Amino acid sequence: MDKYISVKELEDAALEALPRAVRDYYKSGATEEYSLAENRRAFQRLRIRPKCLVGLKNCDLSTTVLGEKVTMPLGISPTAMQRMAHPDGETANVKAAEAQGVIYTLSTIATSSIEEVADAAPNAVKWFQLYIYNDREVTRKLVMRAEQAGFKALALTVDTPLFGIRRADIRNKFTLPSHLRLANFDGHMSTKIHNAGNGSGLSHYVEGLFDKTLSWDDIKWLKSITKLPIVAKGILRGDDAVKAVEAGCSGILVSNHGARQLDGVPSTIEVLPEIVDAVKDYNVEVYLDGGVTTGTDVYKALVLGAKMVFVGRPALWGLAVGGQDGVQRMLSIFRNELEYTFQIAGTPTVADITTDMVRHESAYSR
């Protein structure tokens, strides 16, 4: 794996290796993919302002997330159906997270079950990403199982009343390969994604099962059935962040779902300051994902107020290239880049990061 020295190189290798329908499903954004490109470009518009001669021998990247200690402020966001990338799928991904001491989030629509993932990496800090199904009993059972298996929080995805329009998936009539199953379900819930032959099978699956009528009141229902802290995943507005906290969420994950839901939404790094500001008087942690591919991206998000930064696709690229080893390689590339950034910018620890460390490029073009 040593030959890969950037996340971009892992991405290129993965895109070459994966079958077309899987590759397209993983990489696509919604419709014109304008926001997908913006997720990356917005990071490039921010400039880091290093402090010189700080006299740093070492830096410490460790931090906490909802009280759990992790070795760096980078974790893995939930992405569905990881066994399409590698036969060991989610179990390889979570083992890599465990080996590196970072947080792993398991998707509801995973190809490994909650229990398989817990058994594979009992010591990893694990969150469970929850979609709320029309069938609340199905939803309740998922929550109970995650709680019993030692997951530490629920990341409730709030941006998905239905799936965004992903044109490649429509063209490819995307469906789950027949040897794989949605491992968190059994009984009357299908473990397959049926495709009647029209458009994306995944979109049909979601339209039939996810509860489109969700409102902030449903967080109260969720809180009534679990003691796990709830993270609202998919927030892009300050006022929604406040509603999430007032409904009882302990964390806000600023996310546009990897720009896969609605094209034209802002990049996540652009809206982060608005959200951090909106909830500054509350006891809540704010996180970010979307377009993060380098250590300097992670640093910029920390400067703008994120407590933890997550990556989705980079873990899939690592998985596709080398299973657990590939994901570990991806994480160590980030760790190395982040260490260099901390050292050269003159930042000893995560707690030493201050908002003056980054400026928008427009400040330099006057």
Of 258 and 322, which CB lies nearer to ligand FNR in the complex structure?
258
78 counts as binding ligand FNR under rule CB under 6 A: yes
Residue 257 bears catalytic tag? yes
- Interaction with ligand FNR in 132-191: which residues (CB under 6 A)? 157
Q: Which stretch binds ligand FNR (CB under 6 A): 172-180, 239-247, 275-283, 306-314?
A: 306-314
Judged by DSSP in three states, 336 sits in: helix
- Among 18, 59, 80, 118, the residue binding ligand FNR under the rule CB under 6 A is 80
Considering only 158, 214, 271, 292, the residue that binds ligand FNR (CB under 6 A) is 292
Residue among 233 and 243 whose Cβ is closer to ligand FNR: 233
Does residue 318 bind ligand FNR (CB under 6 A)?
Answer: no
26 binds ligand FNR (CB under 6 A): yes
Tokens 């199982």 identify what position? 145
Position 75 contacts ligand FNR (CB under 6 A)? no
Pairing of strands 308-311, 358-360: unpaired
The only residue of 313, 320, 327, 341 in contact with ligand FNR, by rule CB under 6 A: 313
Pair 77, 101: CB distance under 8 Å: no
Structure tokens at 345: 């910018």
Q: Which residue is nearest to ligand FNR (CB)?
A: 312
Closest approach of Cβ 23 to ligand FNR, in Å? 10
Going by DSSP bridges, is the β-strand pair 74-76/125-130 parallel, antiparallel, or unpaired? unpaired
How many residues bind to ligand FNR according to rule CB under 6 A?
23
> CA distances (Å), 252 to each of 23, 273, 276, 326, in order?
29, 13, 9, 29
β-partners of residue 210 are 133
Is 205 a binding residue for ligand FNR by CB under 6 A? The answer is no
HSE (CB half, 13 Å, CA atoms) of 296? 15
DSSP codes of every residue in 23-56: HHHHH--STT-HHHHHHHHHHHTEEE-PPP----
**Phi, psi dihedral angles at 358 (to 5 degrees):** -135, 140
The interface region with ligand FNR, picked from 62-70, 213-221, 284-292, 348-356 by CB under 6 A, is: 284-292
- Positions in 39-68 near ligand FNR (CB under 6 A): 39
Least Å distance, CB 11 to ligand FNR, is: 10
Q: What single letter denotes the amino acid at residue 352?
A: D
**Catalytic positions, please?**
257
